[in-house]
Amino acid sequence: MLHSDKIETKGQKVGMNMTEKSVIFFDIDGTLLNHDKQLPLSTREAIFKLKELGHIVAIATGRAPFMYEDLREELGINTYVSYNGQYVVLNGEVLHTNPLNIPSLEKLTEVALSNNYPVVFMDHEDMKANVPEHDFISESIASLKIEHFPSHDPNYYKGRELYQTLFFCPEGEEKPYEQEFKDFDFVRWHPLSVDILPKGGSKAKGIEKIVEKLRIPAERQFAFGDGLNDLEMLSSVQNSVAMGNAEDTVKAVAKYVTKSVEEDGILNGLQMVGLLEP
């Protein structure tokens, strides 16, 4: 379906010349992968068809690169925005990084630990927890259904660039930290966990680095997403598509709304915008 107040006046789907190269950015969780963290067959086939037509397929996710290496290999994707824009790779080469402020992070970690709230430090290769074990970490990470689980290294933040930190606390408990630590943005992704990111970083900023390098015009840029961390991306990319399973606030900023991930939403959305034939 389409947003009636935004595009129904056009009367039809976008008319695209499918021989022109476009770049399409896909979120992972709730967009490429369903709620069981499985890749629907229709999505897989649609991705390969896009590539066959000469389009550039990219990923834009809050995940770390090591959390979706298998998915990139399965789909043959080597251009991606990780950590909500803090680690950007184009054609297998690092294009842009935006690390966290370490002194501020060190102070936040001390305050969090005094309240029995753990953190997990993350760079492009691994993630390490500042405590040996904690129920909040176990429950949150388990929901991602990934093989990686953070081992214990409270000093992992020293001498390296970190692009994201996971802060584990119940909903609402992050508010005092948001007030005190202005270097960071706090984005909740689980009832017990919040992403800590450099202030002002977003998928949109990471995408901007890629499209500048590729020199693909705005009308040939597409993005699919479903989560709150997709708001900036769907607001800034000209041809934005919200999944049917997205929250209403996410649908409100997108140009199009497709079906849910469980109902072949990617295939439907690509047909809707004219990148694939029905």
What's the half-sphere exposure (Cβ side, CA atoms, 13 Å) at 122?
26
- Rounded Cα–Cα distance for residues 77 and 180 (Å): 39
Q: How many C-beta atoms lie closer than 10 Å to residue 74's C-beta?
A: 12
Residue 2 DSSP one-character state: B
- Rounded Cα–Cα distance for residues 178 and 265 (Å): 35
* Identity of the residue numbered 199: K
- Rounded Cα–Cα distance for residues 17 and 181 (Å): 48
Q: Which two tokens mark 92?
A: 């297998």
Q: Which of 5, 27, 230, 248 is catalytic?
A: 27
27 catalytically annotated: yes
- Rounded Cα–Cα distance for residues 178 and 174 (Å): 6
The residues, ordered by sequence, that sit 6+ positions from 95 with a Cβ below 8 Å of its Cβ are 88, 89, 209, 210, 213
Helix (H/G/I), strand (E/B), else coil: 115? coil
Contact 210, 231 (CB under 8 A): no
Burial of 176 (0-12, 13-18, 19+ CB in 10 A): exposed
Cα radius of gyration rounded to whole Å, the chain: 19
Helix (H/G/I), strand (E/B), else coil: 28? coil
Q: Residues with catalytic annotation?
A: 27
